C-alpha cells in the first residue's frame, strides 16, 4: 500500500477481533462507576492550547514536547487533548457544575494524544478512562477512588498482577518548603546530576526524584525526604487515607519518589503498577489537585482523580489470559435459507423473532449459497444453533432447528413455536 494510505505511527486501528475485549472492558468499568454514583461527562477532543499550558504546566514533558498543536483556520492555537483533567475542569467551570461548593463525581472515556516514542504500551493516540471528583476534600474520597479500582481489578481477574504505590506531596505550602530544601541539597551535587535533572532542578525540581539515571539516584539517597516536610494537614490526610486502605484490606507500598509528571498534584498521589508489561508498567495513576481549579480561574475547589490507560489494561488482560471466552461469541442463532420463497419467509420470521426476543443475537444468512457453504458460515459465526428453512420446511410451516455445539438432536419446530423454543435454550444477556 502506498505510504500516504497508512495510519499515523503510534495511532492504532482497533480491529473487529479486538473490539469485543474493548467493549467488555469498557462495559465493566461503566457498570462499576454507575454503581458507585459517578456520572459520565463528554468533552471535546480539541481545546485551546492555552488550557493545557495553564493546567498541566509549561515545564512538564507533555507541554514541552508531547502535544499535537496546530493553528486552525482562524489562527487560533488548538491542541488535541493529551489528557482529560484540564478539559474536565474547564467544562465544570464553564457550566457552573461545582457552583456553591456542590460536590461532583465525574468520569470520562476517550482518546488522548501525545507525541511520544511509540512502543508496546505507549502510543500517540491512546485511550483513557478518567475520574474527577470536586468539592470533597477528605481522605474518604481518595480512598473510594482506590477502593473502586481495586474492585475493578478483582472483576477483571488481574488483582494479583497490580501493586498500589502511594505518596503524599503535601499542601502547596509544605511542598514549597520541601522544594527549597531539595534544591539547596541538589545544588551542592550539581556535577553528579544527569543533564535532564540539572535542567529540572531549575524548572521542576520534584521531577528529579523520578530520574532513571543511576548516578543521580545515588545522590538522592541522602536527599531530604518529603515525608519530613509534610505539615499537619497533609500528614493527617495521608494517615486518614492509609487507615481506610488498611480497613478495606488493600495492600500498598509507600513510594517516596512518586511525584507524577504533572504540575497540578498535591497531597495524595498514587499509581497502580504491574511488572507484567515491561517498561510501560503503570496502568492507572492519579492524585489530588486541590489548587488546580483556582489556578484555572475558578473559586477554590478541591479535586482528586485518576486516569487508567485502556491499551495497557487490555494488554494485561491478554497477557494474563483473563479474556472471558464468551465475549467473542456474538451470534446465538444462524439462519440458513435456501431458495427465494424461503428467504422471504425467513425475513418475516426473523423480524418477528426479534420482536419477541429483543436480545436475541440472530444472524440471517446473506448472499444465498449452497447447504455446505451456509453451514460453514454458521459454524464460523460461533452460533450455538442453526435454523434451516428450505422449500420442504416452508411447505410444512416449520424450521429445522440444529444444535451446532453438540447439545441435542436436530428437530422440526413450527413457526409459531419457535420464539418460545429459542427462549428456553438461549440465556438472554
Ligand atoms: P507514563 O509514565 O507511562 O508516561 P504518565 O504519567 O505520562 O505515564 P498519565 O498522564 O498519568 O501517564 O496517564 C494515566 C495513564 O494513561 C498512564 O498510567 C497510562 O496507563 C496511560 N498512558 C499515558 N500515556 C500513554 C501512552 N502514550 N500510551 C498508552 N497509554 C498511556
Ligand atoms: Mg508520560
Kindly report the average pLDDT of the chain as a whole number. 95
Residue whose entry in the numeric block shows the C-alpha cell 477554590: 300
Q: Rounded to 5 degrees, what angle do the CA atoms 208, 210, 214 make? A: 85
Between the CA of 66 and the centroid of ligand 2 the distance, in Å, is 9
* Averaged pLDDT, 97-123: 97
The pLDDT assigned to 108 comes to: 98
**In this structure, are strands 385-389 and 398-403 parallel, antiparallel, or unpaired?**
antiparallel
Taking the model in full, what pTM does it have? 0.93
**Spatial separation of the C-alpha atoms in residues 135 and 40, rounded to whole Å:** 17
Point out the ligand 1 atom lying closest to the alpha carbon of residue 62. 7
**Spatial separation of the C-alpha atoms in residues 228 and 230, rounded to whole Å:** 6
Q: Identify the helix (H) or strand (E) that includes residue 413.
A: strand 411-414
Answer whether residue 249 shows pLDDT above 90. yes
Nearest by Cα to 42 from 75, 91, 7, 94: 91
In this structure, how many other beta carbons lie within 10 angstroms of the beta carbon of residue 105?
A: 19
The pLDDT assigned to 203 comes to: 87
Burial class (CB in 10 A: 0-12, 13-18, 19+), 228: exposed
The pLDDT assigned to 267 comes to: 94
**Spatial separation of the C-alpha atoms in residues 253 and 165, rounded to whole Å:** 5
Cα 68 to Cα 46, 110, 128, 260: the distances in Å are 10, 16, 17, 21
Between the CA of 308 and the centroid of ligand 1 the distance, in Å, is 8
The pLDDT assigned to 1 comes to: 56
Residue whose entry in the numeric block shows the C-alpha cell 446473506: 366
- pLDDT-derived band at 260 (thresholds 50, 70, 90) equals confident
Q: Which of 2-11, 25-34, 60-69, 115-124 has the lowest mean pLDDT?
A: 2-11
Answer whether residue 264 shows pLDDT above 90. no
**Spatial separation of the C-alpha atoms in residues 97 and 117, rounded to whole Å:** 37
Instruction: Dig out the grid coordinates for 379 from the structure.
Output: 459454524
The pLDDT assigned to 177 comes to: 92
Q: Which sign does the torsion angle of CA 259, 264, 268, 272 carry?
A: negative
The pLDDT assigned to 3 comes to: 65
Asked if residue 137 has its Cβ within 6 Å of ligand 1, the reply is no
Answer whether residue 398 shows pLDDT above 50. yes
- Nearest-CA residue for ligand 1 atom 24 is 122
Contact 282, 273 (CB under 8 A): yes
Q: Rounded to 5 degrees, what angle do the CA atoms 42, 44, 49 make? A: 135
How much of the chain, in percent, has pLDDT values that exceed 70? 98
* Averaged pLDDT, 26-41: 98
Asked if residue 393 has its Cβ within 6 Å of ligand 1, the reply is no
Q: Which domains does the chain have, with CATH numbers?
A: 19-171+231-319 (3.30.930.10), 329-428 (3.40.50.800)
- pLDDT-derived band at 429 (thresholds 50, 70, 90) equals very low
* Averaged pLDDT, 353-376: 96
Amino acid at each position: 500500500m502506498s505510504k500516504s494510505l497508512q495510519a499515523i505511527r503510534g495511532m492504532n486501528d482497533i480491529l473487529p477481533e479486538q473490539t469485543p475485549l474493548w467493549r467488555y472492558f469498557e462495559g465493566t468499568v461503566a457498570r462499576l462507576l454507575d454503581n458507585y454514583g459517578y456520572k459520565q461527562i463528554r468533552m471535546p477532543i480539541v481545546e485551546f492550547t492555552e488550557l493545557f499550558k495553564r493546567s498541566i504546566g509549561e515545564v512538564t514533558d507533555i507541554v514541552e514536547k508531547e502535544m499535537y498543536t496546530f493553528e486552525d483556520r482562524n489562527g487560533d492555537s488548538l491542541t488535541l487533548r493529551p489528557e482529560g483533567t484540564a478539559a474536565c475542569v474547564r467544562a465544570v467551570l464553564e457550566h457552573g457544575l461545582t457552583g456553591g461548593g456542590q460536590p461532583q463525581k465525574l468520569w470520562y472515556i476517550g482518546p488522548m494524544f501525545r507525541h511520544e516514542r511509540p512502543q508496546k504500551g505507549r502510543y500517540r493516540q491512546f485511550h483513557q478512562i478518567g475520574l474527577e471528583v470536586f468539592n470533597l476534600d477528605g481522605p474518604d474520597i481518595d480512598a473510594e477512588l482506590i477502593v473502586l479500582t481495586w474492585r475493578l481489578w478483582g472483576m477483571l481477574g488481574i488483582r494479583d498482577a497490580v501493586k498500589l504505590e502511594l505518596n503524599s506531596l503535601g499542601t502547596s505550602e509544605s511542598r514549597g518548603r520541601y522544594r527549597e530544601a531539595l534544591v539547596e541539597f541538589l545544588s551542592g551535587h550539581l556535577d553528579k546530576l544527569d543533564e535532564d535533572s540539572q535542567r529540572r532542578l531549575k524548572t521542576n525540581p520534584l521531577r528529579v526524584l523520578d530520574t532513571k539515571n543511576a548516578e543521580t539516584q545515588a545522590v538522592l539517597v541522602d536527599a531530604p525526604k518529603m515525608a519530613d516536610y509534610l505539615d499537619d494537614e497533609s500528614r493527617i490526610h495521608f494517615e486518614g487515607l492509609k487507615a481506610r486502605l488498611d480497613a478495606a484490606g488493600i495492600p500498598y507500598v509507600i513510594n517516596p519518589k512518586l511525584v507524577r509528571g504533572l504540575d497540578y498534584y498535591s497531597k495524595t498521589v498514587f499509581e497502580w503498577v504491574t511488572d507484567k508489561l515491561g517498561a510501560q508498567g503503570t496502568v492507572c495513576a492519579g492524585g489530588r489537585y486541590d489548587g488546580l481549579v483556582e489556578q484555572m480561574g475558578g473559586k477554590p475547589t478541591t479535586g482528586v482523580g485518576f486516569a487508567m490507560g485502556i491499551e495497557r489494561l487490555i494488554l494485561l488482560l491478554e497477557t494474563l489470559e483473563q479474556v472471558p471466552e464468551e465475549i467473542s461469541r456474538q451470534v446465538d442463532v444462524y439462519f440458513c435459507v435456501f431458495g427465494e420463497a424461503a428467504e422471504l419467509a425467513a425475513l418475516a420470521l426473523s423480524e418477528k423473532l426479534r420482536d419477541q426476543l429483543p436480545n436475541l443475537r440472530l444472524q440471517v444468512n446473506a448472499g444465498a449459497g449452497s447447504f455446505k457453504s451456509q453451514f460453514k458460515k454458521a459454524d464460523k459465526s460461533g452460533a450455538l444453533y442453526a435454523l434451516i428453512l428450505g422449500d420442504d420446511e416452508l411447505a410444512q410451516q416449520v424450521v429445522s432447528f440444529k444444535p451446532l455445539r453438540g447439545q441435542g438432536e436436530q428437530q422440526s419446530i413450527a413457526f409459531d413455536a419457535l420464539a418460545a423454543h429459542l427462549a428456553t435454550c438461549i440465556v438472554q444477556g
